[in-house]
Amino acid sequence: MTKDTSSAGEDRTLRLEIGPDRIGHVVFDRPDSPVNLLSAAVLHRIDALVAELESRIANGQLVALTLESAKQGSFIAGADVGEIGEVRLAEQGRAASTEGQRIFRRLERLRVPTISCIDGTCLGGGTEISLHCDYRVASDSNSTRIGLPEVRLGIIPGFGGCVKLPKIVGVQRALDLILSGKPVPAARAGRIGLVDRVIPHHAWERGIRDFVSDVLANEVPKAEPRLSFKGKLLERNPVGRKVLFSLARKRVLSETKGRYPAPLKAIDVLEQTYGLVPDEAYPIEADALGELVVGDVSRALVRVFGLSQDAKRALPDSVMAAARDIRRVAVIGAGVMGGAIAELVAANDIGTVLKDIDQGALDAGLRHAADLLRKATRASVFTEEEAGLKLARIDGRLDYEGFEEVDLAIEAVVERMVVKQQVLRDLEGVLDSEAVLATNTSSLSVTTMASGLDRPERVVGLHFFNPVHKMPLVEVIRGERTGDAALATAYRFALGLGKTPVVVADRPGFLVNRLLGPYLNETGYLLDEGVPVEEIDDALLEFGMPMGPCRLLDEIGFDVALHAGREMAAALGSRLSPPDVMDRMIEDGRLGRKNGRGFYLYENGKSTGVDPTLDSLFPSGTGGPGDDEIRSRCLWLMVNEAAWALEEGVVDTADQVDLAMIMGTGFPPFRGGLLRWADFEGLRRILDGLLRFEDTFGPRFAPAPLLKELAERDGTFTNPT
């Protein structure tokens, strides 16, 4: 089709193809990358290209223009987050925003119809450039997702997204998209008027051609926001709009407790810019972006994003080269974890065998998987038909038939060494000699588990967190004899499931549970001092933890927590010894949520509040430490344990600790991670505090040598800039 091509600049990131029909196609094709990004350099090229387009249009060489991507499954993934992290001054942020707005508005003013053709992920700046086109079409492919996820980086859309989106989809839907940061699939984008036509993926090229012809024949009306009657009533009068903005503010405040400034700022910008002429509206957006991008929260969130990207490349290429392809997976043990892991694997279209020794347990595991798939259907992740096909991929069994086809077996049976060793031995007898054996153990030694096998180098830990479908972290545990092939296979497999893998050494509690140990134990000591459950949980909720430690203990179960605590204490020292509160809870018939009785009471799985009869187990409230001390004692112990873990080489870097704690426990991302937070608190202050607590409460507060050394030389765990 190419009659005339040019690339703006020498780079092939962007090219213009013009067909004999005088329809121009701007094709994004960033070299050596699976996705297109809108870096400053790419924006500069777009600017140069628009200048070229202006002159071609003036010369009658163009009648319409499409924006397209040459990447499979990706239109434009957004701005270059690395560049966002480099902004130091609000003025720089404002200037970058103004420049992007200027270029997109220049594109908007081209005097031929412009059509953004979205096949694949279209995020952030990708969506904003599309909003400045006259029309948008999207393919119905599964990978098409259109959104403005900026709030997740602590900023707002700054290339005109806040100004343009309400005009196209209405205020309420613009608020939904911007405040949630959640991208929407093509069908929904079509329903809300974000795109003008949804084209079947199999007829994509032809669909674009037809759409362009329809536009040129004046057969496509300019989109108006598709509002319901109630929507029109609210949005089209100032009082109604005031209500919308005020409800949005209330909702954001209740969800974020005001800790994340970006969503609130987005509401301000949408409210202030509504009805303004563009020359007045765009600068308001740019100012807000400049202010947010240099704020602590944005810097923390951008860092976390960077860490999760780094986690995708943490193992050297030489090790990754040994990874095996996974076509079939077996999950052994169909309990809480096994059923959920099987669902996750099948949801990713990998054939799965789910095996148990008990028919009842197997049925329950399959039901659990089916429930999770149903939930995904309700959340519009899959259609019902797709969910049915995925469920059919799980083959429930009580025997080992067909295991010779399995590339990766994950054992998730009861947490007992002898049982797990037997399961691995059985697997060794039935699997192909190259298959990888993974264990989902949360506390047992991978090395010991593998010790009786003929080929222990095939064994690796693959520690998923509960609930599996929600928690992004997977600890990949390198046993002493784990080989590169097993490690790389497990790592790549976790990445393929959309999880964030962190490689950890085979030490008791691995990383996350080890750091949670002293944090949860301290809760017990506080209770013993008469501090009420609500006060402890509220103090940590106030800090930003997703749930308080008492609530978390209820979720884990006291039997499991006690067992894990004892194991860790035996191996790592008495600082990790669980307080006898746990024993008392168990003696009183309390296991936590699973039997309806923990610190809280539960009816039909739902919490009904703190158990008022706990008084008989703990001294009743006697004042005791305030919120600050509760937080310091629990969190500083976690920091201290991280220092021990780093010294022992459980992970290599403080960055890995931060990523794992955010992805595995929900440690508040706006704090930047456990050790980044500790650095901001000041290590000297934490050291002095630990020494003070050691005097009062004993050796469990003794500072780790690494923490002491860093604090004494004014060092930091991370590299705060």
Ligand X SMILES: NC(=O)c1ccc[n+]([C@@H]2O[C@H](COP(=O)([O-])OP(=O)(O)OC[C@H]3O[C@@H](n4cnc5c(N)ncnc54)[C@H](O)[C@@H]3O)[C@@H](O)[C@H]2O)c1
Any idea which residues carry the catalytic annotation? 475
415 lies in the binding site for ligand X (CB under 6 A): yes
Q: Where does 59-170 have alpha helices with state H?
A: 81-86, 90-108, 125-131, 161-169
Q: Is the peptide bond before 472 cis (omega within 30 degrees of 0)?
A: no
**Host H or E run for residue 147:** strand 145-147
Binding footprint of ligand X, residue count (CB under 6 A): 24
Closest CA to 43 of 127, 101, 110, 82: 101
How many residues in total does the chain contain? 721
Q: Is 568 in the site for ligand X (CB under 6 A)?
A: no
Q: Under rule CB under 6 A, which residues in 259-318 are in contact with ligand X? A: none
Q: Which is nearer to ligand X, 189 or 332 (CB)?
A: 332
Mark the segment that binds ligand X (CB under 6 A) among 40-48, 170-178, 410-418, 449-457: 410-418
The least distance separating ligand X from the CB of residue 185, rounded to whole angstroms, comes to 31
Q: Which of these ranges, 195-203, 328-336, 448-456, 496-504, lies near ligand X under the rule CB under 6 A?
A: 328-336
Shortest separation between residue 593's beta carbon and ligand X, angstroms: 11
Per-residue CA distances from 684 to 241, 646, 678 (Å):
50, 18, 10
For residue 595, state whether it binds ligand X (rule: CB under 6 A). no
Residue 397 contacts residue 354 (beta carbons within 8 Å): yes
Looking at 336, 376, 381, 541, which residue binds ligand X (CB under 6 A)? 336
Among 190, 333, 461, 549, binds ligand X (CB under 6 A): 333
Interface with ligand X includes 335 (CB under 6 A)?
yes
Q: Which of 42, 252, 413, 707 binds ligand X (CB under 6 A)?
A: 413
Binding segment for ligand X among 124-132, 331-339, 489-497, 629-637 (CB under 6 A)?
331-339
Using CB under 6 A as the binding rule, whether residue 419 contacts ligand X is answered as yes
CB of 564 to ligand X, least distance (A): 8
Nearer to ligand X, 77 or 545 (CB): 545
Of the candidates 336, 490, 487, the residue with the CA atom closest to the CA atom of residue 408: 490
- Piece of the chain touching ligand X by CB under 6 A; list 86-94, 180-188, 272-280, 415-423: 415-423
Long-range contacts of the stretch 90-96 (C-beta < 8 A, 24+)? 90/290, 90/291, 90/293, 90/294, 91/290, 92/290, 93/158, 93/289, 93/290, 93/291, 93/292, 93/293, 93/294, 94/286, 94/287, 94/289, 94/290, 95/290, 96/40, 96/158, 96/289
Choice between 166 and 333, CB closer to ligand X: 333
Q: Residue 171 has which token pair?
A: 């205020």
Chain residues 450-509 in contact with ligand X, contact rule CB under 6 A: 464-466
Q: Applying CB under 6 A, does 630 fall inside the site for ligand X?
A: no
Nearer to ligand X, 335 or 682 (CB): 335
Angle at 517 between CA 511 and CA 520, to 5 degrees: 135
Helix (H, G, I), strand (E, B) or coil at 469: coil
Q: Which of 338, 517, 549, 578 binds ligand X (CB under 6 A)?
A: 338
The pattern of x and - marking residues 350 through 369 that bind ligand X according to CB under 6 A reads: -----xxxx--x--------
Tokens of 24: 């121009």
- The structure tokens listed for 273 are 């810019």
| 337 makes contact with ligand X (CB under 6 A) | yes
Shortest Å distance, C-beta 372 to ligand X: 14
Q: How far is the CB of 342 from ligand X (least distance, A)?
A: 11
Give the Cα separation of 401 and 86 in Å (integer).
55
Minimum distance from CB of 225 to ligand X (Å)?
45
Are residues 250 and 244 in contact, defined by beta-carbon separation less than 8 angstroms?
Answer: no
Among 66, 352, 442, 640, binds ligand X (CB under 6 A): 442
User: Alpha-carbon distance 199 to 360, whole Å?
Assistant: 46
DSSP for 516-581, written as a single string: HHHHHHHHHHHHHTT--HHHHHHHHHHHT-SS-HHHHHHHH-HHHHHHHHHHHHHHH-GGGPPPTH
Q: How far is the CB of 338 from ligand X (least distance, A)?
A: 6
Which residues form the interface with ligand X (CB under 6 A)?
Answer: 332-338, 355-358, 361, 412-415, 419, 423, 440-442, 464-466
